């Protein structure tokens, strides 16, 4: 569907996002999601479970009212056996969600939706980082409200850098992706670079409206920063994460973009826009680059 195929309701939805105070609304949601008053948080959690048909059977804590806040419920841990990891040498899916797009990075650009592209340089924050992924591959995974919201490592890797890039907080659903040019390179995001057996790997956590808070396992809450200094590793500290290990989480739903260099892997041909995904399933096969 192209931008011209948007319905009147779609256009109104997108127009409102341009007009609304995105960061102020996200800050309000940040506070509400951390409210610990039982009657409020239990009502909100139970409504959410029913509205989005959330499967609590795989959660470590299956009782929705046992969570101290809505955010604790939203970022709930799953039982270890709930997301088995595909056998090596498969590239693992980093999150539950839906495949928005996957393919090759051509002339430095990635496809957002039919009729819309954006550059790797704009997404990652600079041309030098984007050059690492020239003629490489990418996958964009959309996490809906009902999904598991922790992000895991597709490959074992050692962290080389993390960058927080401020920006807008548009919704990242399919309607907005068709209507807002450069959406993923305009929204607030956290860019994490790793050295892996396949070469450099980028995992980009893209914020969205009501997703004003993203965190990583090594730095904790990255955004909102509340005036904190940018994260810097302790001298001599090396952060290495195993294949399938948790690397971060969204405190509401959003999008993860994975980038790999040229020749690192090939996508599973069954993957198409709209394909449902589970963390730990195989996205494709590694080429054995290293």
Residue numbers annotated as active site: 96, 152, 254
Q: Label each residue of the chain as H, E or C.
A: CCHHHCCHHHHHHHHHHHHCCHHHHHHHHHHHHCCCCHHHHHHHHHHHHHHHCCCCCCECCCCHHHCCCHHHHHCCCECHHHCCCCCCCEEECCCCEEEEEEEECECCEEEEECCEEEEHHHHHCCHHHHHCCCCCEEEEEECCCCCCCEEECCCCEEEEEEEEECCECCCCCHHHHHHCCCHHHHECEEEEEEEECCEEEEEEEECECCECCEEECCCEEEECCCCCCCCCCCCCCCCEECCCCEEEEECCCCEEEEEECCCCEEECCCCCCCCEECCCCEEEEECCCC
């Amino acid at each position: 569907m192209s931008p011209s195929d948007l319905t009147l309701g779609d256009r109104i939805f997108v127009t409102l996002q341009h007009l609304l105070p995105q960061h102020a609304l996200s800050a309000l949601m940040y506070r509400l999601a951390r409210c610990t008053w039982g009657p409020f948080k239990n009502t909100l959690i139970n409504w959410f479970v029913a509205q989005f048909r959330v499967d609590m059977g795989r959660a470590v804590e299956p009782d929705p009212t046992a969570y101290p806040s809505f955010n604790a419920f939203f970022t709930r841990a799953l039982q270890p056996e709930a997301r088995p990891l595909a056998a090596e040498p498969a590239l693992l899916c980093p999150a539950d969600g839906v495949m928005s797009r996957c393919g090759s990075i051509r002339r430095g650009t990635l496809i957002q939706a039919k009729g819309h592209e954006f550059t790797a340089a704009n997404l990652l924050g600079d041309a030098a980082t984007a050059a690492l992924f020239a003629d490489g591959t990418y996958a964009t995974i959309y996490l809906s409200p009902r999904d598991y919201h922790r992000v895991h490592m597709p490959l074992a890797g050692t962290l080389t850098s993390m960058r927080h890039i401020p920006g807008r907080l548009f919704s990242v659903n399919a309607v907005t992706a068709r209507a807002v040019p450069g959406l993923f390179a305009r929204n607030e995001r956290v860019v994490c670079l790793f050295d892996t057996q396949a070469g450099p790997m980028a995992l980009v956590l893209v914020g969205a409206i009501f997703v004003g808070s993203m965190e990583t396992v090594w730095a904790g809450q990255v955004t909102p920063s509340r005036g904190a200094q940018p994260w810097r590793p302790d001298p001599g500290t090396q952060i290495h994460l195993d294949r399938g290990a948790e690397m971060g989480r969204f405190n509401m739903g959003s999008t993860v973009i994975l980038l790999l260099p040229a020749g690192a892997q090939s996508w599973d041909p069954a993957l198409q826009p709209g394909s449902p995904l589970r963390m730990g399933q195989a996205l494709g096969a590694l080429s054995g680059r290293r």
